Amino acid sequence: MKIPELFEHKKPVFSFEIFPPKRQSGLDKIYDTIEKLSVCQPDFISVTYGAGGNMADNSTCEIASNIKKRFGIEPLAHLTCVNSSMEDVTEMIGRFAKADIENVLALRGDIVPGEAIKKDFSHANELAIEVQRNSGLQILGACYPEGHYESKNLREDIQNLKYKIGAGVKVLITQLFFDNQLFYEFLVQVRNAGIHVPVSAGIMPIVNKKQIEKTVALSGASLPHEFTKMIGLYENDPEELYNHGIQYAVDQIRDLLEHGVDGIHLYTMNNPDVSLAIYEKIKDLL
C-alpha cells in the first residue's frame, strides 16, 4: 500500500514510530510491542534506521517486512544518508524491494561525533532524488515546526522543504513538538510557500524524568507554560508524571484532531502501554 494514497482517502491518518533493538536478541520484544500496538489498527508503523545510519547489524528492513507479513500493517522504513555511500543506499533500496516494502522516510540522519561522514549525500533531498531515480518507492520526509537547528531561520528551512518536495517527497512528518500553536503557524507558512502535501503531526508523550533530561533537551522544541508547569510539579513523582504526561499528549492530539490535522504520528519509544493509554482517549476522533 502506498502511504501517500492513504492521506488522499483518509483523514486523519494515524501511525506509530518504533525503533529496532540494539541487539538481535531484542527482536522478540519488539514484535510483542507491535502486536500490542496492532489493536489500535494504525494506518502504518515507521521503523527507524540503525544507530548512526550504520548498515552493520541493521534490522530496519527485517522488522518493516515482518510488520507487513505478520501483522498486516503497512510499514514505513527510515533511510538515512549522511553516513551512507551511494553503494550503501543502492543496497538498501534493493533490500526494501525484495522485502516488498513500498514506503521510505528519506532522512539526512544525525551526524555522529567522531564518525567519518561519507561524501555522497549531504541532505535528505539528495537522498530522495536517488531513491526516486532508482526505485518505485514512495518517499516521505521530515519537517520541523520550529525550523531545523542548522537552518538560519524558519523561512530558510521551509525553502529547504521545497527542495524535498521537488525531489519526490509526497508526505511530511514533523519532529516532536509540545506547542500546538507553533505547529499551526508553521502550517500556514508552509501552505503560503506553495507546499501542499499532507503534514502529519509527530507527538511524543513525556512520561518519565529520563525523557526530560535527554529527549526534550536534545529536540530543541519550545516548552509552553502548561508543559513546564507539569514538569515542575511532577518531575520527582514518577507515577504522577506518567499519568499527566499521557494526559498532556492526549490534550495535544485531541486539539490537533479537532483542528483537522492530516495525521497523527505517535513516537512510541517502544512503550506500547503508553501508546495504548493515549489511543483509548483519542479513538473517538480517529
Give per-residue pLDDT as tens, 72-127.
999 999 999 988 899 999 999 999 999 999 999 999 988 777 777 788 998 999 99
pLDDT band at 54 (very low <50, low <70, confident <90, very high): low
> Residue 235 in contact with residue 212, Cβ under 8 Å?
yes
Where does the pLDDT of residue 58 fall: very low under 50, low under 70, confident under 90, or very high at 90 and above?
confident
Query: 205: domain CATH number?
Result: 3.20.20.220
Q: What is the mean pLDDT of the chain?
A: 93
pLDDT value at 224 more than 80: yes
For the stretch 252-286, pLDDT in tens is: 999 999 999 999 999 999 999 999 999 999 999 99
Q: pTM, whole model, 2 decimals?
A: 0.95
Q: Could you list the residue range(s) of the whole structural domain that residue 142 is in?
A: 3-285
Comparing CA positions, the residue from 29, 38, 91, 95 lying closest to residue 68 is 38
Residue 91 annotated as catalytic:
no
- Out of 5, 8, 17, 91, the active site residue is 17
Q: How far apart are CA 45 and CA 14, in angstroms?
A: 9
Instruction: State yes or no: pLDDT of 53 exceeds 50.
Output: no
Weakest-pLDDT range from 125-139, 205-219, 222-236: 205-219
| CB atoms near residue 225 (< 10 Å) | 8
Q: How many domains does the chain have?
A: 1
pLDDT band at residue 52 under the 50/70/90 scheme: very low
